[in-house]
Structure 1
Amino acid sequence: MFKPQRINELLEERRIKKVDFCEKVNISATTLNRTTEKGAEIGCIKLERIADFFQVPMDYFFERDYKQPDSTNTIEKGMDLSSGNTINGINGNGNAITMSYNDQQREIEHLKVLLKEKERMIQLLLHQQNIVLDNSELID
């Protein structure tokens, strides 16, 4: 369940004015007030900007067991990764994420496919450029 009051708590803790906050995260004061005061739903993109601003995971704003990510790597703890246990990590926005081992493997395979496609495209472009250069040399 969404906990909009946590936004207000963070604003108060950090002594940030709502007007300044709204400007920095690019949301209207009306949207913020409807969300924090009346519990209106907020879009996921806006909530992500709010989470990024406060440097907290989006889960922080929901009724879940929120824990700060452990700085110790799961592998170093000796967890059996093949059992489907989760691994904590940090995404590109600096937010904590949790992925199962199987999800990580799928993500790795997907990235390998993308990398192969990128390499193929580079080779095609280089080949195409060489053909263009060769043809221009013949004209000169």
Structure 2
Amino acid sequence: MFNGLKIHKLLEERGLTKVSLFTHIGISKKGLDDIINGVHAPKVTYVEALADFFKVPIDFFFDRDINSSGINIGHQVKGNGNKVSGNITLSECQKELEHMKALLEEKDKIITEKERTIQILMNK
């Protein structure tokens, strides 16, 4: 959920005013106060403008608890949609994808052969 109090905290930490913020993002003072106090959820365009103003990722303003067990393929990739970093290159990722496609093709061939064998055995 969107956490408007984070806006207030950033304003205080950075010594900025609400006037400079609502002028920058093109919203009224009451509109900004309503967002900060959780009266209204902001439009996506305002969230993007807030992130640009404070130079933080858009995700910063949302409180989320994500339990991602994930699958480890030997690479570490981290990101939040705005910035992604890790120790895998695009070419390595493409090679991994091609390898997975080849494995799927082999599995499909094996399944087709097993189905054919089952049909033969059922017809006897």
* Equivalence for 1:28: 28
Counterpart of 1:80 (choices 71, 74, 77) is: 74
Query: 2 CA distance for matches of 1:31 and 1:97?
Result: 32
Task: Determine the structure 2 residue equivalent to 1:43.
Answer: 43
CA 1:52–1:86: 2 relative to 1, 3 Å: same
Moved over 6 A (4+): none
Cα offset for 1:15?
A: 1.0
Shift of residue 19, structure 1, vs aligned partner: 0.9
Distance 1:51 1:59 in 2: 9
Q: Aligned-pair distance for 1:43?
A: 0.5
Match of 1:96 among 72, 83, 89: 83
Alpha-carbon distance in structure 2 between the residues aligned to 1:5 and 1:27: 17
CA distance in 2, matches of 1:87, 1:6: 23
Identity %: 33
User: Aligned partners of 2:25 and 2:14: how far apart in 1?
Assistant: 15
Scaled by the length of structure 2, the TM-score of the pair is 0.53
| Displacement after TM superposition at 1:4 (Å) | 0.8
TM-score when normalising by structure 1:
0.48
> What is the number of equivalent residue pairs in this alignment?
82
Deviations 1:52-78 (A, max 9, x none): 11111111111136xxxxxxxxxxxxx
State the partner residue of 2:113: none
Once the two structures are TM-superposed, the CA of residue 22 in structure 1 deviates from its matched residue by 0.9
Cα 1:4–1:86 shift into 2, 3 Å: same
Q: CA deviation at 1:97?
A: 4.5
Could you say which structure has the larger radius of gyration? 2
Q: Give the structure, 1 or 2, with the largest relative contact order (CA under 8 Å, sep 6 or more).
A: 2
Structure 1 letter corresponding to 2:55: Q
2:16 matched residue in structure 1: 16
